[in-house]
Structure 1
Amino acid sequence: MGKLPEEAEAIVREYVMLMEEAFPSQLEGLYIHGSIALDAYVPGLSDVDFIAITRKRLTERESRIISGIHQKLANKWSAPEMDGCYITWEDIGRTSPVKDVLYFHFNGGRVQEGAHFNSITWWILRHYGIKIAGPEPMELNLEVEAQNLVSYVLENMNTYWTRRIQMLEYLIHSGILPPEDEIHSEIEWSVLGMLRQFYTIKEHGIVSKLDAGRYALHHIPEEWHPIIYEAVRIRKGGKEESLFHSNEKRAAAAVSFMKYLLVYSNKLFVEDHRGSIR
């Protein structure tokens, strides 16, 4: 586990021990992806993103036991939080769950039904994933086509991120902005989150939020640099002085930039698709 940050390594070690005590020989594979795998871990912000491979599918009773395991870890360590899914070997590489199959994932402090895996998950696992247990990631026969990755990301921008833009716009126009700490979190999450999508569409790869922000400063017009700097500033801990003098101006700048980036990304995809057809 030498590649893991010290605090994440401690949590993962105890997690493996508790899983083995509760379910002997059930955990056959465990992989870390996300910011840790991308060497972009930020203490206090980043999660321990994991994929747990179990020998057989979990039952609801077993999911409750696993929920207890995660609760023990949370009681001992407030951060970083674990965030991941429980699947079997046959799910490796799937971009959607199997119909009528019961999946479980852990997020937001509890085990929930459903699956959290997609093209981004598999791409990071194949190229940067950290093995805790099981075969090496390169031995998992994971093939993620660049076009599939880009198509998934663009769909995400036109659904999830579009709805987020609309929500922020509504809050601004209604004059009911959330507290400053929530504004900070929203700007960091939304601006850098969308810039990660932009990087994928433009470069057919995946980078961390901070790297996406740095990349954008070389590929996005200067008029948008203040809000990008602001998002990077917040991600890095917010110690430098903000370029914005009010939450309203900062939120409005974020919405304007996100709308611009949505249009620009769709245009890039169309141009790239035309080029591939030729």
Structure 2
Amino acid sequence: MRGGIGGGTMVPALVEQTMHQLIHSLNTRTSNITAIYLYGSVALKDYIEGSSDIDFIAIVREPFSQTDVQAIIEAHKEVEAAIPNTDIMGAYILFEDLNRKQGDIKPLLTYFDKQIHRDGRGADLNPITWWIVKKHGIRVYGSEITFNYDLDKDTLLSYVINNLNSYWSGWITRLEQKLQTVLEAQQELESQQLDQAIEWCALGMLRQLFTLKEQDISSKVGAGRYGLQHVPDKWHGIIEEAIAIKRLQPNRLYSSQMERLTDLIALLKFIQLEANRVYE
């Protein structure tokens, strides 16, 4: 193994074990891998075992042949058999595909949901990813790469605001519909399902707000802490719950599931309005 896990940077034990296994499993089957870099929560120093993915970019020397694809499939099967309690996702790309739009990378080989996909399914190759790779990426295998592509802040901010006003706006609409349905049917909300929505939406949208205000990238928990400093006090409870859920901690501040959902929707609407105000 060239370069060493983390290239001198400490990574969590499960991440190190997983990447050691992946590197070994790939190297015994193919010589086409030039380097592997970690991004995501590991690179942002906020990896939470049991909650976070291990995100990687593998850079290949030449377009992969069918033999290479089969080798990668078998390598990941070996990793899953050896370390079933880990969740990794990543993409195998050429050096010249770094910083390209996902739709411009063809073919795009990805590992997502414990399967290899040839159509790029599960890839998250976007300006946020390229920002983290260049500024915070951790080399775990191969020669160190000079990421000499330009990071255009306008492109980053435009991507984030568009994502917020499409994907995240859709979440707000669905949560409002859920609230209305529950009220009309006088149903009970399922707490575990609501936990997932609180963690995903509150921290996810706070990351967007952080980027638009600070022109940088934050982890989910980091964005939650940022929210506690920059969002009105009345929504601190739902943010604290979102952080606790992400960190797999049991503490909850609400006794009413309806109140939790109502506050979540109100927080998300505030973030959307504030984010658009900042971007103007």
Regarding TM over 0.5, the answer is: yes
Whether 1:228 and 2:235 are equivalent positions in the alignment is no
Q: Percent sequence identity over matched residues?
A: 32
**Alignment correspondent of 2:253:** 243
1:132 matched to 2:137? The reply is no
Query: Matches of residues 31-46 of structure 1 in structure 2 within 5 Å?
Result: 31-46=37-52
Amino acid at match of 2:234: E
1:228 Cα deviation from its structure 2 partner: 0.9
**Which secondary structure state, in structure 2, belongs to the residue aligned with residue 22 of structure 1?**
coil
Task: Give the corresponding residue for 2:56.
Answer: 50
Instruction: From the superposition, tell whether residues 60 and 224 of structure 1 become closer, same or farther in structure 2 (CA, over 3 Å).
Output: farther
CA distance in 1, matches of 2:66, 2:124: 17
TM-score of the aligned structures, taking structure 2 as reference length: 0.88
**C-alpha displacement at 1:109, in angstroms?**
1.6
Contact (CA 8 Å) 2:35, 2:144: kept in 1 or not? no
- Which of structures 1 and 2 has the larger relative contact order (alpha carbons within 8 angstroms, sep 6+)? 2
- Structure 2, unaligned stretches of length 5 or more? none
Quote the residue 1:166 is aligned against. Answer: 173
Residue 269 of structure 2 is aligned to residue 259 of structure 1: yes
Structure 1 residues 244 and 107 mapped into 2: Cα distance closer, same or farther (>3 Å)? same
Partner-residue secondary structure (3-state), 2:217:
coil
The equivalent of 2:192 in structure 1 is 181
**CA shift for structure 1 position 59:** 4.7
One-letter code aligned to 1:266: N
How big is the shift at 1:116? 2.9
* 164-173 or 204-213, which deviates more: 164-173
SS in 2 for 1:105: strand
Contact conserved, 1:47 with 1:81, CA < 8 A, in 2? yes
Give 1:133 deviation, angstroms: 2.6
Q: Report the Cα offset of residue 174 of structure 1.
A: 2.0
Which moved further from structure 2: 168-177 or 184-193? 168-177
Give the TM-score taking structure 1 as reference length.
0.89
Cα deviation code 1:64-121 (max 9, x no counterpart): 542332232223223331111111111011133327x221211112122214311111
In structure 1, the residue matched to 2:158 is 151
Taking the aligned partners of 2:152 and 2:160, their CA distance within structure 1 comes to 13
> Counterpart of 1:105?
110
8 Å contact 1:31–1:51 — kept in the other structure? yes
1:77 aligns with 2:83: yes
2:131 to 123, 129, 133: 123
Counterparts of 2:66 and 2:272, CA distance in 1: 40
Give the CA deviation at 1:260. Answer: 1.6
Question: RMSD of the alignment, in Å?
Answer: 1.9
Is the contact made by 2:26 and 2:71 (CA closer than 8 Å) also made in structure 1?
no
Give the gaps of 5 or more residues in structure 1. Answer: 271-278
Instruction: Quote the Cα distance in structure 2 between the aligned partners of 1:87 and 1:34.
Output: 17
For 1:9 and 1:197, the matched residues in 2 are separated by: 29
What is the aligned counterpart of 1:67 among 53, 67, 73? 73
